[in-house]
Chains A and B, each alone.
Chain A
Amino acid sequence: MYLVPDDEELAIASAAAEYLADAMPIDRLHAANPADLKDDVRNALGDMGWYALALPEADGGSGLSAIEHALFFREVGRQCGPVEVMAQCLAAMTVADADLRAQITSGAVGVSLAIVDGDSLRLLGSPAARYALQVTRNEACLLDLQGAQVSAKSSLDLALSMAVVPAGCPVVATRAGDHVWMMGQLATAAQLVGISEASLEQIVEYAKVRETFGKKIGSWQAVRHPCADMAVRLEAARSQLWYAATAIKEGSLDAGVHLDAAKHQANVAALANTDSNIQLHGGIGVTDEHHAHLYMKHSLVLAKLFGGRREILARLLHAELED
């Protein structure tokens, strides 16, 4: 039993961190038209093989596990990465046709995420995406958006575009079962953990340099104690994330229960840590030029994906664990 990333796993995480900090740094969200995955970045990520990380080798992937998948998406979260990075990965797991799968893993075509919203589908991601991926606990479907009536909506989250499209887009691929859902839930929880970490690191760095009343603010208990609470929430969410990822890798029968708990912990940690990060920065925390609000806004989107609070708690209440 070893529930902390080992050296090989850490090497993947640090390679991902370096690459993503360069390819999609969070600073991009302060430039003009920052939303979504741009064509060149989508292609570059494909060239590096990031969409095929947890895809079996027989399907043209790297054959790595849910653990590396989680480690990668934690880093995506730290940069408030576009939601299409996840859609692209999950679509590759959904498609059986080798040619279409290769187009997706290479980044030649774009995939956005589709969520049922009343009688319509809500699209998250680039309006230029050719496909949209719709995932439930029983099935994943890749929809063709060509010719669809897409109506753009405004988006609170600067990292993504939103639109709605009437239901009934043609289905080009399906995969039954809960594998894609679980990998999506894991990726979302991991991104929220990344945001929780980045938020804590940001306020801790600030608390070490910023002075008020003649002292560093990090020496005041009014700042120290909320920071400690942020660290505790993060540690709980991160530990449960590793547990869930490992349970999926090992095919534990109760992996889904651990995953639900991981998503709930990640939702709570990200929403609370992004809140504290803004508050403890004082006035600068509410300015547009600061990252703090970017983390908060992106968390609000991710917290609703792959299991929002009510849905997860309803399932968890009577869920059973193995020994």
Chain B
Amino acid sequence: MDLQYSEQDREFRAKARAWLSANVPAEARPAHGHASATFDRDWQRKLYDHGWAGVSWPKEFGGLGLSGLQQVLWYEELARARAPHYINTTYVAMMHAGPTLIARGTDEQKAFHLPRILSGESLWCQGFSEPNAGSDLASLKTRGVVDGDDIVVTGAKMWTTDAQHGDYQELLIRTDPDSQRHKGLTWVICDMKTPGIDIKPIRTMLGDEHINTVFYDEVRIPIANVVGEIGQGWSTALATLSFERGLGFIGDQLELYERVGRAVDLAGKLRFDDGTLAIDDSAIAQKLASLKSDAMAIRAMTLADIAETDRTGQPGPKGSMMKLLVTNTHKALSEVVGEMMGWDFLEFNGDRSAHPWTYDFLWSWIFSISGGTNEIQRENIADRVLSLPRAR
């Protein structure tokens, strides 16, 4: 075992730190709507123009082709610089759609979409989940009927983050009406401007409208937009999800330590009504210190997993374990901060930059449900890490 960074790693970190300190936007990201998407596109464009877009993408497709360890350094520097968060309206394009097209797309699909994704020109959304399906992705019903050169899609998708900003969608549909479960599915690129698409926002408990139900009424999608093969969509979808479960949350894993540090700083300033400084309250001090050790352990786990993946070329089975730990730690941290902030914590207008801790507290539930609920992660661990008898 060793903790050594190579000379190239150190140089990369220094270069990233210098560039970020000069280029991170001073203004906060707008909380909602069109302005937030514009902010994200602009930041992505800036990364692209300066050669920082696509840290995990291969060089031949315009990415940086970084090793896992250098990606760690990049996300650590993003967190340190308080750069715009990478889980924004570009997330699905950068972390799902791009990698899926690289792995399974045709040359034409790659040539058209990859540069647009990298430069922030195209935003994507995900169309996997459906009403009444929840975590049971394979029970989806939205149907696609082949008609000439098109597939005609009718049905509905649910929980679609940023559908209102998406230029394209990774859409999973059932193209064989007699098929069951994960057979007979197809993964297609859906242009969100196609006639017949109707987007209805779902207001969340954060008070915002970033998730949506998307209805499809005889939406015609060219067969040329199929990624993988017709009927083989499940395999393509699993590839998409594997990107999310591999390094998809790496930034959150590494950012946690910074967040605990901010909470400790805050505890050194806040006083309770009786004049006690929050940090002098032993229950709060102990919880914060314990969360700091959790954040350190999550980082150690991330580094071990990435080192192993860099060496073997195969992602380890630890993605579910890390997501579960990160979401639980994230939530626990918000709760401690909530306790020490008192009434101020209960003031909230939906603006992340105005009320960051309250926003993150509410967000912690979205985090522990989206991308696979905590319960689904536990099922994955029971199956894949512990090889327990199957529940289903």
Query: Are the C-beta atoms of B391 and A220 separated by less than 8 Å?
Result: yes
Known: A204-B388, A224-B378. A260 touches B4 (CB 8 A): no
Known: A235-B301, A239-B300. A224 touches B391 (CB 8 A): yes
Q: How far is the CA of A246 from the CA of B311 in the complex (A)?
A: 18
Considering the complex, give the chain A residue whose CB is closest to the CB of B287: A313
Partner of A3, one of B1, B289, B290: B1
Query: Are the C-beta atoms of A218 and B69 separated by less than 8 Å?
Result: no
Query: Are the C-beta atoms of A235 and B318 separated by less than 8 Å?
Result: yes
B57-65, B224-232, B379-387 - interface stretch: B379-387
Query: Are the C-beta atoms of A228 and B325 separated by less than 8 Å?
Result: no
Query: Are the C-beta atoms of A232 and B375 separated by less than 8 Å?
Result: no
B95-103, B243-251, B302-310, B351-359 - interface stretch: B302-310
Chain B 1-23: CB-based contact to A (< 8 A → 1; otherwise 0): 11111000100010000000000
Q: How far is the CA of A219 from the CA of B324 in the complex (A)?
A: 20
Which residues of the other chain, A, contact B321 by a CB distance below 8 angstroms? 231-232, 235
Query: Are the C-beta atoms of A316 and B293 separated by less than 8 Å?
Result: yes
For residue B311, give the distance in angstroms from its CB to the closest CB of chain A: 7
Contacts of B1-55 to chain A: CB distance below 8 A: 1-5, 9, 13
Which residues of the other chain, A, contact B4 by a CB distance below 8 angstroms? 1, 250
Name the residue in A221, A243, A257 with the highest tally of chain B Cβ atoms < 10 Å from its Cβ. Answer: A243
Contacts of A244-272 to chain B: CB distance below 8 A: 245-247, 249-250, 252, 257-258, 260-262, 264-265, 268
For residue A184, give the distance in angstroms from its CB to the closest CB of chain B: 19
Contacts of B214-246 to chain A: CB distance below 8 A: none
For residue A227, CB closer than 8 A to chain B, the reply is yes
For residue B264, CB closer than 8 A to chain A, the reply is yes
Contacts of A155-169 to chain B: CB distance below 8 A: none
Query: Are the C-beta atoms of A314 and B3 separated by less than 8 Å?
Result: no
Query: Are the C-beta atoms of A2 and B1 separated by less than 8 Å?
Result: yes
Q: How far is the CA of A219 from the CA of B296 in the complex (A)?
A: 33
Partner of B297, one of A220, A239, A314: A239
Query: Are the C-beta atoms of A317 and B264 separated by less than 8 Å?
Result: yes
Partner of B389, one of A6, A218, A229: A218
Query: Are the C-beta atoms of B264 and A318 separated by less than 8 Å?
Result: yes
Partner of B382, one of A6, A224, A249, A310: A224
Query: Are the C-beta atoms of B386 and A1 separated by less than 8 Å?
Result: no
Which residues of the other chain, B, contact A313 by a CB distance below 8 angstroms? 285-286, 289-290
For residue A237, CB closer than 8 A to chain B, the reply is yes
Query: Are the C-beta atoms of A4 and B264 separated by less than 8 Å?
Result: no
Known: A225-B382, A228-B378, A245-B1. A261 touches B293 (CB 8 A): yes
Which residues of the other chain, B, contact A243 by a CB distance below 8 angstroms? 3, 296, 300, 303-304
Query: Are the C-beta atoms of B2 and A218 separated by less than 8 Å?
Result: no
For residue A209, give the distance in angstroms from its CB to the closest CB of chain B: 10
Which residues of the other chain, B, contact A9 by a CB distance below 8 angstroms? 1
Partner of B292, one of A223, A252, A261: A261
Which residues of the other chain, B, contact A250 by a CB distance below 8 angstroms? 2-4
Name the residue in A67, A200, A225, A257 with the highest tally of chain B Cβ atoms < 10 Å from its Cβ. Answer: A225
Considering the complex, give the chain A residue whose CB is closest to the CB of B304: A3
Query: Are the C-beta atoms of B3 and A252 separated by less than 8 Å?
Result: yes
Which residues of the other chain, A, contact B387 by a CB distance below 8 angstroms? 204, 208
For the complex, would chain A's binding face be called helix, strand, loop or mixed by DSSP majority? helix
Partner of A228, one of B303, B318, B386: B386
Known: A231-B386, A232-B381. A242 touches B290 (CB 8 A): no
Which residues of the other chain, A, contact B304 by a CB distance below 8 angstroms? 3-4, 239, 242-243
Q: How far is the CA of A88 from the CA of B36 in the complex (A)?
A: 63
Chain B 156-167: CB-based contact to A (< 8 A → 1; otherwise 0): 000000000000
Which residues of the other chain, A, contact B325 by a CB distance below 8 angstroms? 232, 236
Which residues of the other chain, A, contact B389 by a CB distance below 8 angstroms? 207-208, 215-216, 218-219
Considering the complex, give the chain B residue whose CB is closest to the CB of A70: B1
Chain A 287-323: CB-based contact to B (< 8 A → 1; otherwise 0): 0000000000000000000000110111011110101
Which residues of the other chain, B, contact A3 by a CB distance below 8 angstroms? 1-3, 300, 303-304, 307
Considering the complex, give the chain B residue whose CB is closest to the CB of A209: B389
Query: Are the C-beta atoms of B382 and A228 separated by less than 8 Å?
Result: yes
Contacts of A12-68 to chain B: CB distance below 8 A: 67
For residue A257, give the distance in angstroms from its CB to the closest CB of chain B: 8
Query: Are the C-beta atoms of B388 and A224 separated by less than 8 Å?
Result: yes
Q: How far is the CA of A246 from the CA of B382 in the complex (A)?
A: 30
Query: Are the C-beta atoms of A1 and B303 separated by less than 8 Å?
Result: yes
Q: How far is the CA of A258 from the CA of B269 in the complex (A)?
A: 26
Q: How far is the CA of A1 from the CA of B307 in the complex (A)?
A: 6
Known: A243-B303, A316-B292, A317-B289. A221 touches B391 (CB 8 A): yes
For residue A5, CB closer than 8 A to chain B, the reply is yes
For residue B193, CB closer than 8 A to chain A, the reply is no
Which residues of the other chain, A, contact B297 by a CB distance below 8 angstroms? 236-237, 239-240, 261-262, 265
For residue B298, CB closer than 8 A to chain A, the reply is yes
Query: Are the C-beta atoms of A236 and B1 separated by less than 8 Å?
Result: no
Which 3 residue pairs spanning A and B have beta carbons closest together?
A: A218-B388, A313-B289, A228-B381
20 new A-B contacts, CB < 8 A, other than A4-B1, A232-B325, A317-B264, are A2-B2, A4-B304, A4-B307, A200-B386, A220-B391, A221-B378, A225-B375, A236-B298, A239-B300, A239-B301, A239-B303, A243-B3, A246-B1, A250-B3, A250-B4, A261-B293, A261-B296, A264-B290, A264-B293, A316-B292
**Interchain Cβ contacts under 8 Å between A and B, 27 examples:** A2-B1, A3-B3, A3-B300, A3-B303, A3-B304, A4-B304, A204-B386, A204-B387, A204-B388, A208-B389, A219-B389, A221-B379, A224-B382, A228-B379, A231-B386, A232-B381, A239-B297, A239-B301, A240-B297, A243-B300, A250-B2, A261-B293, A312-B289, A313-B286, A316-B293, A317-B264, A317-B288
Residues of chain A touching chain B, judged by Cβ–Cβ distance below 8 Å, are 1-6, 9, 67, 200, 204, 207-208, 215-216, 218-221, 223-225, 227-229, 231-232, 235-237, 239-240, 242-243, 245-247, 249-250, 252, 257-258, 260-262, 264-265, 268, 309-310, 312-314, 316-319, 321, 323
